[in-house]
Amino acid sequence: MAYTPFDLSGRAALITGGNGGIGIGMADALAQAGADVVIWGNNPAKNEAAEARLAQHGTRIIVDRVDVADEAAVDAGVARALEALGRLDFVAANAGVGEGADSFDTMSTDLWRRVLAVNLDGVFWTLRAAARHMVARAQDGDPGGSLLATSSTSAVHGAPRNQAYAATKGALLPMMRGLAVEYARHGIRANAILPGWIATDMTARAQGNDRFNEKVISRVPMRRWGEPEDFGGLAVYLASDASRFHTGDTFTIDGGYTIY
């Protein structure tokens, strides 16, 4: 019999922030591997473009406008995904904002709370709803599932003027390890990724900054910005049976920047 663990036919995935950046890179690969995919995003134009791109792969694609900073909206969004697809096998809490301040001592409380609401509360609510579904399914005799959170190398590096962002990304790591231990008995895995410097809308200003490219990107051993497509293979791996015993881990995807 052929070894086909990366065939995701019959599986369903949810990617928050899936209409662009790292999210669309993961969603596109999942759809190509045969998964039905739900993506959440707030920008109607980006949602429409993402839907058209993913639909080319022939699986079911659902695009939903969900504000992950709203607990009720998250619960309702997961309920709609389950109603449409019947199950969720892989849920990636990827949506995030990267808002910084001129300095830490001038950072406003409103900014701090806004970043935490999206990057931390939103992940908590998304994965909580996903875990409820996966546990209930396991109790009905259908164990398994995979949870993923998008953290950042700012969780382990100093991030000046971006302490709110870094605080949220750092908090995700113990959250995912706790989920991995708590839900392993149900066959549910939980992992995190730490992206480095990735060419997305969030880093658009830095991409166009010659000094930044000279001083920072030149230090990336692979000598380039990361791309959303660099996360596709990992998403397929974590959604597949190939990772059925792999949990509680943190994947650093940064072209070698952190170890250099």
**How far apart (Å, rounded) are the C-alpha atoms in residues 64 and 47?**
8
Locate the domains of the chain by residue range: 12-253
**How far apart (Å, rounded) are the C-alpha atoms in residues 174 and 176?**
5
**CATH 3.40.50.720: does it fit domain 12-253?**
yes
Tens digits of per-residue pLDDT, 227-251? 999 999 999 999 999 999 999 999 9
Q: Token pair of 244, please?
A: 């059925």
pTM of the model: 0.96
- Choose the catalytic residue: 3, 165, 237, 257: 165
**How far apart (Å, rounded) are the C-alpha atoms in residues 139 and 149?**
24
**How far apart (Å, rounded) are the C-alpha atoms in residues 142 and 32?**
25
Residue 165 annotated as catalytic: yes
Tens digits of per-residue pLDDT, 105-159? 999 999 999 999 999 999 999 999 999 999 999 999 999 999 999 999 999 998 8
